[in-house]
A and B are shown apart, each in its own frame.
Chain A
């Protein structure tokens, strides 16, 4: 089935089985391996993507559901040279260890800050509670998101 959607800002048309999971489409057909799979059943958040501004779990989403959507994956958020402020803050504040949760965590944080640009630490913890991280204990992730919120709130920066 032909499916048209916007992927990381680019009009994209692919021909895949409509019931293929979006995570597989991304990783296997489009070589976008930044989106990770860590459970395949909606429990970990590693496969988080942003569809029309909302976070979605790409392991629970089927290719047919991409039609007409605007999809952002970690690869489309910033580039290696010019990172998104949330990515920058994750790097600077030590919020990355093994990094396997990081893409999903970063996208959840971006979506959170869009809805709530000045979250408290408690609100951040709640906002990322669907994303599991086994390495960090979350503290530096919360630090990074708080810092990113401050930076993004300052238009001069």
Chain B
């Protein structure tokens, strides 16, 4: 029976298509109450006071809470805990939570929210990351010794300054990329209950149940042991639920109405205004090469706008910095990045985690250089592509599987790519066609210091089936199904005999976040370990039954164990009966390998995750048609060639590629989270446009034959790498079609048209 490499439809699909899967948003419960949040509505102000008494008097209102009611630290955050659960003396962006209302029904809730009027003393804000670094800029956190700087990182190799003088061609540009909203369909939602025995149960749409528990405990002041977090399948997350959203607020609400379920579900507008975004960034790049096309020097200055709170903004910056030079050998680099506080929306984790921004800049630079040198863009990349054992642009040795060259070579030989000139020549009237490509890469896991650990648990049930306790959330990637596949493979079972227990701090073991392209790699490895232990126990037990000596020829078969020489069989339910309860359970821990190199003078970057050892790679191509009259870009076809190691489930893998490309195409062409001096101009799906079925091309998801020796069955993470490609591939295709560069994305029709007119 084949499991690994098979396109097994995900196990959750049946319940999801039937409408029966229960998401966090689907919990109501008997006699439940609603909780809702009063948002700041102003980007920067001191709070003189908040009038809540009249809201409290509204019939149906149970309570109104402010920061004074928070017993714990009232601070949230993963690295720097700088975000209040409920604002104390200040608000720092429009989405800050200033008061919490608990009410019997939605009507009373919304009346109370309207009735609460905070008394603000507005203070000047700062809305641009470079402005924010100037000495006279208003301070977002008055107590931050580094003013508006959250975190900076400098990495270099060789001597870039001198090296630029030795180059035969140098290109230079400044790129700007916007905030991007996750726009998961399930907005932030959860349900909480304070039980009779004072235990707090929270069901929530989250990527990080175990970390949430610690955060809620500290912020609200409840012992961690008293909190249970249950994480059902998420209705999308993409990084936006990496960290606390409704959790602490729900906990506060539940504490003031014991034994009654509390429900919170942010509306779309509330979600857009208060949730984290992909960081806006401005990137100054200079890249130089010798006449043979060998990259020789790179300089980058990168500013990430992290909004008012850390929210992993330092770690995002560090990963971006690490990837700033792409998948190339560049002997002389000088890379600097800053993550800066402003009064804009909160910047945070979003699929790609800082890498999307730098890839957009670097890969356009490479194409600009290709034009300058008159070398084919694929060829130029091939001449510089990293191989195993090479030092990357931050001077770290590539020690994991490194398939970028294979990806580029495969794209080069792809018939569509080979025939692109013919395809381009067939453009209709007033249309221009172009083909563009890019390399992509994405590091996996937490980096060298924060332990990247998963703990897997698997049980042989009394009925002779297997129960996999998933430690990492499935937010839609399908990793839970892959876990079942992995366990099947080790135990020789049928996927139908697998049962999944979703993350629950009372049932499953801590295994880190569903993020960083690590979910299947890290947990999958732990699960292989646990399944092997259980397998050994089962075989040992069967051996006793068969009265065989050690080392006899017996095998697990679906539902049982067979003594191969005699053909005698015993069922797994019988084995389960013979094993003790504790023997039916196996656990195993896996910690991802780390790099021992320290690339920077500043060792703090290691704590922030630099450097990684395992990367996924890819080469993408976009085929576009530009309307000369409107400037509208249509992506007609998109190709991804990817090295994610060995693919365990091709269907799930393709889903990751196609979904990542879709978010990337949105980012490239239309998604622009617009703010004006901190006020949000795009608070809904009518103003913030994401791709519909009409905006998406058909995509080819090609893989190269690859294997990562440390991965479960050879796999590497596939969740993020694809979303890095579309913006640079499309921008390069636009340059190919029209000879223009729109340095500020998204590449909207207006911007394309304006640039085309300049050319005329």
Question: Which residues of A line the B interface, CB within 8 A?
Answer: 27-28, 31-41, 43-44, 46, 73-75, 78-80, 83, 87-88, 90-92, 94, 96-103, 106, 121, 124-126, 128-142
Contact = CB atoms under 8 A, between A and B. Distances in A.
A90 B185 contact: no
A14 B20 CA distance: 22
B652 interface: yes
A99 B18 contact: no
A135 B187 contact: no
A127 B238 CA distance: 27
B648 to A, nearest CB: 14
21 contacts: A34-B19, A38-B187, A39-B268, A43-B684, A43-B685, A74-B19, A75-B18, A80-B15, A87-B18, A90-B17, A97-B478, A100-B23, A100-B235, A100-B236, A101-B185, A121-B698, A135-B655, A137-B658, A137-B691, A137-B696, A140-B655
A94 B7 contact: yes
B661 interface: yes
Interface of B: 7, 9-10, 12-23, 25-26, 28, 182-187, 233-238, 267-268, 475-478, 651-652, 654-655, 658-659, 661-663, 684-686, 690-694, 696, 698-699
A38 B268 contact: yes
B685 A75 contact: no
The prevalent SS among residues of A at the interface is loop
Contacts of B183: 134
Given A80-B14, A139-B658, A134 B684 contact: no
Nearest to A106: B17
Given A39-B685, A102-B17, A133 B185 contact: yes
A102 B16 contact: yes
Given A91-B14, A100-B186, A106-B17, A132 B685 contact: yes
B655 A97 contact: yes
Contacts of B693: 124-126, 128-129, 131, 133, 138, 141-142
Nearest to A99: B16
Contacts of A141: 693
A98 B20 contact: no
Given A94-B13, A98-B233, 17 more contacts: A33-B26, A34-B19, A34-B20, A75-B18, A83-B17, A97-B477, A98-B237, A98-B475, A99-B17, A100-B23, A100-B236, A125-B694, A125-B696, A133-B185, A134-B663, A136-B658, A137-B696
Contacts of A34: 18-20
A45 to B, nearest CB: 9
B661 A137 contact: yes
Contacts of B477: 97
Given A39-B268, A83-B14, A92-B9, A136 B19 contact: no
A132 B182 CA distance: 13
Contact of A36 (B185, B234, B478, B659): B185
Q: Which of B18, B26, B234, B476 has the most CB of A within 10 A?
A: B18
B659 A137 contact: yes
A132 B690 contact: yes
Given A34-B19, A39-B268, A98 B14 contact: no
B654 A140 contact: yes
A80 B20 contact: yes
Contact of B12 (A73, A99, A137): A99
A38 B19 CA distance: 15
Nearest to A101: B185
A99 B232 CA distance: 12
Contacts of B23: 100
A140 B696 CA distance: 12
Nearest to B697: A139
Nearest to A84: B17
A136 B658 CA distance: 6
Nearest to A28: B28
Contacts of A131: 693
A100 B25 CA distance: 10
B733 to A, nearest CB: 18
Given A33-B19, A33-B26, A98 B186 contact: yes
Contacts of A100: 23, 184-186, 235-236
B685 A98 contact: no
Contacts of B476: 97-99, 135
A16 B570 CA distance: 58
Contact of B654 (A37, A46, A94): A94
B658 A99 contact: no
Contacts of A36: 25, 185-186, 235
Contacts of B696: 125, 137-139
A80 to B, nearest CB: 5
Contact of B185 (A87, A92, A134): A134
A125 B663 CA distance: 17
Contact of B184 (A88, A98, A106, A142): A98
Contacts of A38: 185-187, 235, 268
Contacts of A102: 16-17, 19
Contacts of A40: 267-268
A100 B152 CA distance: 38
A79 B20 CA distance: 10
Contacts of B21: 99
Contacts of A78: 18
Nearest to A91: B13
Nearest to B700: A139
Contact of B18 (A83, A94, A133): A83
A83 B9 CA distance: 15
A96 B690 CA distance: 18
A133 B658 CA distance: 12
Given A43-B684, A133-B185, A99 B694 contact: no
A102 B10 CA distance: 14
B146 to A, nearest CB: 36
Nearest to B237: A98
A97 B233 CA distance: 10
A38 B684 CA distance: 11
B528 to A, nearest CB: 24
A78 B20 CA distance: 11
B13 A90 contact: yes
B662 A44 contact: no
B185 A103 contact: no
Contacts of B692: 129-130, 132, 138
A92 B10 CA distance: 9
A129 to B, nearest CB: 5
Nearest to B238: A134
Nearest to B107: A17
A74 B19 CA distance: 6
A134 B690 contact: yes
B651 A96 contact: no
B9 A91 contact: yes
A135 B659 contact: yes
A141 B662 CA distance: 13
Q: Which of A46, A96, A98 has the most CB of B within 10 A?
A: A98
Output the residue of B235, B685, B686, B694 with the most chain A CB within 10 A. Answer: B235
A33 to B, nearest CB: 4
Given A75-B19, A98-B186, A132-B692, A43 B686 contact: yes
Given A36-B235, A134-B185, A137-B658, A96 B684 contact: no
A43 B692 CA distance: 11
Contacts of B12: 96, 99
